[in-house]
Amino acid sequence: MFEMLVPKLRVNTVFDIDLEAMYAKGYRGIITDLDNTLVGAKAPNATPELIEWFAKVKKYGFELIIVSNNNMSRVSLFATPLDIKFVHAARKPSNAPFRKAMTLMKWSEEQTIVIGDQLLTDVYGGNRLGLFTILVLPIAANDEGWRTKVNRKVERFARKRLRRKGLWSEEENNK
């Protein structure tokens, strides 16, 4: 069970992902979480650096969709001005929002990347469907809601078990 919480890649931020290499490997769709993955949980808008990253994603030929457990208002206010498709109130790690995103993008499991900051929602949900999962460090952990804080405690326990099994090493945190 704990093995399903291991991402295929761990990086500090989305900016550390080698998009050119991912494209060369055949990936075409990116499903990304919003809060603490792209911006802090309370940040209403994309930063200039993130807007540049979205342009780079598009330039390489990727299609991107935000899949968030947050509500319509939060996700729409962020995504709509950027002309980014989204799935709100996703209930990750359920399969349904990931499948919906892949249907909207018209990409298969083998062509889809999931980027997120949580093992229990983003990584576990993506791994269950055989997607390429990338874990980023949370941007503003202090701004997280109580559910996410509970998840973080479970994640600490899971990482401890994974370290004992030799499946998690801290030095992998950078690229």
Dihedral sign computed on CA atoms, order 112, 113, 118, 123: positive
pLDDT, tens digit, for every residue of 71-82?
Answer: 999 999 999 999
**3-state class (DSSP) for residue 67:** strand
Percent of the chain with pLDDT over 70: 97
* Cis amide prior to 44 (ω within 30 degrees): no
pLDDT digits (tens, 9 = 90+) for 123-141: 999 999 999 999 999 998 7
Token pair in block for residue 122: 């983003």
Residues 37/141, Cβ–Cβ less than 8 Å: no
**Amino acid letter, residue 22:** M
Q: Are 135 and 12 in contact (CB under 8 A)?
A: no
Tell me what pLDDT residue 174 has: 45
Amino acid 175: pLDDT: 41
Q: What is the mean pLDDT of each run of 10 residues along the chain (175 residues)?
A: 91 98 98 97 95 98 97 97 97 97 97 97 97 95 80 88 87 50
Beta strand pairing call for 132-136 and 63-67: unpaired
Amino acid 140: pLDDT: 83
Nearest to 34 by CA among 148, 164, 128: 148
